[in-house]
């Protein structure tokens, strides 16, 4: 099957409901080295054959992503993931409880690891996940290989939680988008490193630090606030998840020319030209699911600044705060 191209050059991106025939077609595209955006429970991922340097290179090119920033390889189950990496007792314990689910484990590669060195950013470790989404796992099965799948958006920008977000960023750069509707969680996976020494939390997500500690039965080092020039896992750069507008965090009051990202009605008396409330009821699960979509919607209004209400940094709130802090960080030239 030849990859479709529009007259004159760029790929013709196909947006298709994730029916069995569409998943079959997407699997064939991936086997040929193409790029397919797939829904997961976290955000939409830009999938390619994780064992192919050429396919992985196409991910970096489409996203304009720095090649020193590693990718997560997605698997259908723990058994296939174990063929590519060495799991410590702690890693196996976490995988047994949280897979399928929004947990990524960074573990040493096995002697027979097939995951592209480019996807691993040249490291002797690999980031692995088993998604809790039927469409994603069906696509992995049809492709017949692990799938590297970072968020399906331009690097550093706001992650996509709807197929239209993917289309806005990557139309003409990828082969296909499988439409599975809105993502249930709306934040990227929690990342834990199980390398030398005790496990370390590298990125906050839907699985909280408290839940990890409860399962392991001991403390886990928290490195999630760190910034890496050469990261061992995604989401570790200073500026990430950023809209075009500047973010002003933890505001008590807004200015009339600002857009407002509210939580729990804190800014409901705001004079802002537009306000969206992540959760009027103050529900952090609802807020996480709405975060990236609302940032995109407010950004599309063209305001120079988005004022953000305080978010409690407890449980899932700590992951929301992490994304907002990185979105608000100074950006490179």
Tell me which of 86-95, 284-293, 323-332 is least confident: 323-332
**What span, in angstroms and rounded, lies between the C-alpha atoms of 204 and 279?**
20
In angstroms, what CA-CA distances link 164 with 39, 44, 91, 169, 179? 12, 10, 35, 9, 9
The predicted pLDDT at position 229 comes to 55
Bond from prior residue into 100 cis (ω within 30 degrees of 0): yes
The predicted pLDDT at position 156 comes to 84
Ramachandran angles phi, psi of 48, nearest 5°? -155, 165
Domains, the chain, ordered by start = 14-222 (3.90.870.10), 246-328 (3.40.50.11030)
pTM, rounded to two decimals: 0.90
pLDDT tens digits, one per residue of 55-66: 999 999 999 888
Tell me which of 39-43, 145-149, 298-302 is least confident: 298-302
The predicted pLDDT at position 8 comes to 47
- Which residue in this structure is represented by tokens 């189950």? 77
In angstroms, what CA-CA distances link 299 with 243, 244, 322, 326? 6, 7, 19, 16
Per-chain mean pLDDT for the chain: 91
Among the listed residues 201, 194, 263, 248, the one whose alpha carbon sits nearest the alpha carbon of residue 226: 201
Query: Where on the phi/psi map is residue 197: left (φ > 0), alpha (ψ -120 to 50), or beta?
Result: left
The predicted pLDDT at position 73 comes to 98
């Amino acid at each position: 099957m030849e990859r479709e191209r529009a007259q004159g050059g760029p790929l013709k991106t196909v947006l298709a409901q994730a029916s069995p025939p569409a998943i079959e077609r997407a699997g064939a595209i991936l086997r040929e080295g193409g790029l397919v955006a797939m829904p997961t429970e976290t955000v939409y991922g830009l999938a390619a054959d994780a064992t192919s340097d050429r396919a992985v290179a196409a991910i970096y090119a489409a996203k304009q992503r720095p090649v020193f920033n590693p990718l997560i390889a997605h698997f259908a189950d723990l058994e296939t993931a174990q063929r590519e990496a060495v799991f410590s007792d702690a890693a196996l314990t976490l995988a047994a409880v949280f897979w399928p689910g929004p947990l990524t484990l960074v573990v040493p590669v096995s002697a027979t690891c097939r995951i592209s060195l480019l996807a691993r950013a040249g490291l002797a470790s690999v980031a692995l996940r088993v998604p809790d989404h039927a469409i994603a796992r069906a696509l992995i099965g049809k492709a017949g290989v692990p799938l590297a799948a970072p968020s399906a958006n331009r690097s550093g920008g706001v992650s996509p939680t709807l197929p239209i977000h993917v289309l806005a960023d990557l139309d003409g750069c990828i082969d296909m988008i499988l439409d599975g509707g809105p993502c249930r969680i709306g934040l990227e996976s929690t990342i834990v490193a199980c390398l030398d020494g005790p496990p370390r939390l590298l990125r906050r997500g839907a699985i909280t630090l408290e839940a990890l500690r409860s399962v392991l039965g001991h403390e886990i080092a928290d490195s999630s606030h760190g910034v890496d020039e050469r990261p061992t896992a995604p989401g570790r750069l200073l500026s990430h998840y950023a809209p075009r507008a500047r973010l002003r965090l933890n505001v008590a009051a807004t200015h009339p020319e600002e857009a407002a990202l509210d939580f729990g009605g804190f800014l409901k008396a705001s004079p802002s030209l537009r306000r969206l409330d992540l959760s009027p009821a103050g529900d952090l699960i609802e807020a996480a699911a709405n975060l990236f979509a609302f940032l995109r919607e407010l950004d599309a209004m063209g305001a120079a600044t988005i004022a953000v209400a305080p978010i409690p940094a407890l449980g899932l709130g700590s992951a929301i705060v992490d994304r907002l802090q990185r979105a608000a960080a100074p950006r490179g030239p």
